[in-house]
């Protein structure tokens, strides 16, 4: 009878160790899963940031083109005003002296 009891205790010990090993593996898997989830969230956040920055760059490029066009129109307008004004006309000093 005692030998049977001892053998059952011996049989239980490896099962207990296996459970402990399984718990350790499960805990390690949980840590890995949490780390993967954190990294995925970080990647998604960076993707959203990149999308926002890309949209901002596009908006700035569009605004820049608009401002360049306005500057050209203003430059042409100023040239026209200057050419119409006698103040900005070039003077030919040789013809005035004669």
Please list the rounded mean pLDDT of every run of 10 residues in the chain (98 residues). Answer: 48 64 88 97 98 98 98 96 82 55
Cα separations in angstroms, 70 against 6, 44, 50, 57: 96, 39, 30, 20
Q: Return d(Cα 68, Cα 37) in angstroms, integer.
A: 46
Confidence (pTM): 0.53
pLDDT at 78: 93
**3 state SS of 13:** helix
Alpha helices by DSSP H, the chain: 2-84, 93-97
């Amino acid at each position: 009878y005692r030998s049977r009891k001892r053998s059952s205790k011996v049989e239980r010990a490896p099962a207990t160790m296996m459970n402990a090993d399984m718990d350790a593996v499960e805990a390690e898997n949980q840590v890995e899963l949490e780390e993967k989830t954190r990294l995925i969230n970080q990647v998604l956040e960076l993707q959203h940031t990149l999308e926002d920055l890309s949209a901002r760059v596009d908006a700035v490029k569009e605004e820049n083109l608009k401002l360049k066009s306005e500057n050209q129109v203003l430059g042409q307008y100023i040239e026209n005003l200057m050419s119409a004004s006698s103040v900005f006309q070039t003077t030919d000093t040789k013809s005035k002296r004669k």
